[in-house]
């Protein structure tokens, strides 16, 4: 990865994180309630035409679609950071099993085998 590409990815990632933080705030919840109430009041007063409802569906659909990607990005970053920290703890702990490092990257059947072995050893 080129340095300028890494910088661009970091900037985009930071911007996405800010969007998730902002949209997850109490102020964003208040703004959503106010906008929804205003939309409903205007709809009741002006009548719910087909165009009015079509715009509502389009706007909510677009925002939902975009927010799925923002939330997925933020969740992925947080999960990666937690897994890196856990891997470091496993490496630093004497007696810990190195085979558990990066277990999330192993195939499902291998994870299940590890889990069964750990549970069996815990019962003994």
In the chain, domain spans: 3-70
Question: What's the average model confidence in pLDDT over 57-79?
Answer: 90
Question: What's the average model confidence in pLDDT over 61-67?
Answer: 92
Is pLDDT above 70 for 85? yes
Q: How confident is the model at residue 62 (pLDDT cuts 50, 70, 90)?
A: very high
- Report the chain's mean pLDDT, rounded to a whole number: 87
Kindly state the percentage of the chain with pLDDT values over 90. 20
Q: How confident is the model at residue 53 (pLDDT cuts 50, 70, 90)?
A: confident
Question: What's the average model confidence in pLDDT over 52-69?
Answer: 90
Is pLDDT above 70 for 97? yes
Buried b (16+ CB within 10 A) or exposed e, 2-38: eeeeeeeeeeeeeebeebbeebeeeeeeeeeeeeeee
Position 1 scores a pLDDT of 63
Q: Look up tokens 């590409």; give the residue.
A: 5
């Amino acid at each position: 990865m080129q340095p300028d590409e890494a910088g661009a990815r970091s900037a985009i990632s930071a911007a996405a994180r800010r969007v998730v933080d902002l949209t997850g705030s109490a102020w964003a919840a208040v703004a959503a309630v106010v906008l929804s109430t205003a939309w409903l009041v205007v709809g009741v007063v002006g009548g719910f035409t087909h165009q009015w409802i079509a715009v509502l569906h389009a706007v909510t659909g677009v925002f939902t679609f975009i927010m799925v990607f923002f939330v997925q990005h933020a969740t992925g970053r947080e999960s990666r950071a937690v897994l890196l920290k856990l891997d470091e703890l496993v490496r630093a702990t004497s007696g810990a099993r190195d085979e558990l490092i990066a277990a999330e990257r192993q195939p499902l059947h291998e994870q299940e085998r590890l889990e069964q072995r750990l549970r069996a050893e815990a019962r003994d």
